[in-house]
Amino acid sequence: MIYNPVKVHFGKDVVSKLGKAATPLGKKALLVYGKGSVKRNGAYDQTVAALREGGVEIVEFDGIKSNPVIEDVDKAAALGRSENVDMVVAVGGGSVIDSAKYIAISIPVDHSGWEFAIGDKKPSEALPLIAVLTLAATGTEMNAVAVVQSDKEKKKVGNGHPLMFPKHSFLDPSFTRSVPENYTAYGVVDLVAHALEGWFGDGDATLTDKFILSIIREAMEYGPALMKDPENYQLRAKIMFAATMALNGLTAQGKKSGDWGTHGIGHAMSVLWDIPHGASLSIAFPAWMKLQKERIPERLIKLGEGLFGISDPDETIRRLEEFFSSLNSPLKISDMDAPTGPAAKEELLEVMRINKVSGFCHELSEEDHRVLVDSMM
C-alpha cells in the first residue's frame, strides 16, 4: 500500500505555523532535543515561541545523542507519562526525531521502548508527534520508521509502524546552514544510500527506478556545490528536499522492499565505534557493491548507465567512491577514529553476527561479512 499522511511544511520561517498545528493536538508538549545545537541555529527558540503562541505548555527533555540510545527514549517517555503530556515535539536531526517516534508510542505503555524496536510488541496508540528538522539526511521527517540502539546489547535496530508517522514536519532549510561540514556531507551520503537501498530492492518498478536515479543525480549535482557554499539557502533547500524524498516511500513503490543490507553493515560500525551513520555508509556501500557485482551485474550496469552513461560496474563503483570522496566522506574505517587491527576486525564481525546483518533481497553470509570487513578496513 502507498500511504503517507505526514503534513510537510517546507520553507523559510515555516516554524511560525507550528503553533496553529499544535493547538488542536492538546495543551502540553514534551519538547525533545539533543545536545543544544538547536539553541544556536534558532530552531529551539522558534519552536518554543510557536508553541507558546499556540497556547501549548512545554516540558523539556534534552541530551539525545547521535546514534540515539534506548535508555534516553525510556527516560523521556517516563517524564512524558508523569507530566501527562498530550503530544511530543522533536527538534533536531534523525536521532532526535527517531527517539521521539519511540517516545510517542512508549508514553501510553508501561514497558521499555526497546520492545517496540526489536518487534516484540506492536504499538496500539501513540501521542501525536510534530517534528522540526534541523539536519538533511535520514528522511525520518516523512516516514514511520525509526532507528535506535542498545549499548548494553550491542544492537542497533530499525523498526516502523503507521502510528509512528509524524503528524506534521516543519522543514526550514535555514536551520541546516549551521550543520558542520562533515555532517553536511554525511547527510548527502545518507540520502544517496537510501536511494541506493531502494535501487537494490526487489521488483520490476521502472518509474520508481527513474525516481531513484533522479534523487541520486540531484544529490550529485548539488551536494558538492553545497560543500563549497554551505551558507547557500537554495542549495540547503535542494539537499533537504532530496533527503526527504529519498526515504518517504517514493523509492519503494512497486518494490517488495529495499535491500537495507548496507545499512546493517553501517549500523554495526556505529554501535561499536560510534561512527556517524552517513560516514558508515560511504564506507559500506562501495564494499557491498564490490561483493555483489558478480551476483547482480544487471542492477549495477543499469545504475551506471542511469547515473554516468557507463556500463562497467567497476567504473560505476569507482565513480561513486569518487563522489563520496569529493564530499570528504570516508571510504575506509581507517579514515575514521576507529581501531583497525585484527582484534577490531573480529570485534566488528562479532557485532555483525549479533545483529544478523543481511539484506532483505540479497542475503549476506558470515563468509560475506568477512569479505566486507576486509574490504572496509
Is residue 358 within 8 A of residue 277, CB to CB? The reply is no
Determine, following the binding rule CB under 8 A, whether residue 217 of this chain makes contact with a second copy. Answer: yes
Interface residue with a second copy among 1, 342, 343, 365 (CB under 8 A) is: 1
- Contacting a second copy within 135-174 (CB under 8 A): 142
Q: Does 242 contact a second copy by CB under 8 A? A: yes
Please report how close the Cβ of residue 186 comes to a second copy at its closest, in angstroms.
20
CB of 8 or CB of 351, closer to a second copy:
8
As measured in angstroms, the least distance from the Cβ of 55 to a second copy is 22
**Residue from 84, 124, 234, 325 in contact with a second copy (CB under 8 A):** 234
Q: Which stretch binds a second copy (CB under 8 A): 200-208, 255-263, 281-289, 339-347?
A: 200-208
* β-sheet with 57-61: strand ranges across: 57-61, 28-32, 87-92, 129-133, 168-171
Nearer to a second copy, 156 or 168 (CB): 168
Long-range contacts of 306-311 (CB under 8 A, 24+ apart): 306/209, 306/213, 307/213, 307/216, 307/217, 307/220
Q: Does 133 bind a second copy (CB under 8 A)?
A: no
Q: For residue 33, what are the contacts with CB-CB under 8 A and spacing of at least 6? A: 44, 60, 61, 62, 64, 90, 91, 92, 96
Q: Which stretch binds a second copy (CB under 8 A): 26-34, 77-85, 249-257, 312-320?
A: 249-257
312 and 304 Cβ atoms separated by less than 8 Å: yes
**245 or 247, CB closer to a second copy?**
245
Q: Examine residue 3 and tell whether it contacts a second copy (CB under 8 A).
A: yes
Q: Number of residues interacting with a second copy: please give it, by CB under 8 A.
A: 31
Q: Supply the minimum distance, in Å, between the C-beta of residue 177 and a second copy.
A: 18
Q: Does 8 bind a second copy (CB under 8 A)?
A: yes
Among residues 211, 328, 349, 371, which is the contact residue for a second copy, using CB under 8 A? Answer: 211
82 touches a second copy (CB under 8 A) = no
Residue from 207, 294, 309, 365 in contact with a second copy (CB under 8 A): 207
- Among 110, 206, 298, 367, the residue binding a second copy under the rule CB under 8 A is 206
Nearest to residue 137, comparing CAs of 99, 182, 106?
A: 182
- Residue 50 or 85: the one with the smaller Cβ distance to a second copy is 50
Q: Is 65 in the site for a second copy (CB under 8 A)?
A: no
- String of DSSP letters for 61-124: E--PPSS-BHHHHHHHHHHHHHHT-SEEEEEESHHHHHHHHHHHHHTTSSS-THHHHTTSS--S
Distance separating alpha carbons of residues 187 and 135, to the nearest angstrom: 7
Q: Which of these segments, 49-57, 72-80, 209-217, 307-315, binds a second copy (CB under 8 A)? A: 209-217
Quick one: 98 or 141, whose CB is closer to a second copy? 141
- The dihedral through the CA atoms of 144, 149, 150, 155 has a sign that is positive
Per DSSP, the residues of 266-306 read: HHHHHHHH---HHHHHHHHHHHHHHHHTTTSHHHHHHHHHH
The amino acid present at 351, given as its one-letter code, is V
* Burial class of residue 367 (count of CB atoms within 10 Å of its CB; 0-12, 13-18, 19+): exposed
Q: Which of 110, 204, 298, 367 forms a contact with a second copy (CB under 8 A)?
A: 204
User: Contact 59/79 with Cβ under 8 angstroms?
Assistant: yes
Which residues make up the interface to a second copy (CB under 8 A)?
Answer: 1-10, 142, 204, 206-207, 210-211, 213-215, 217-218, 221-222, 234, 238, 241-242, 245, 250, 253-254
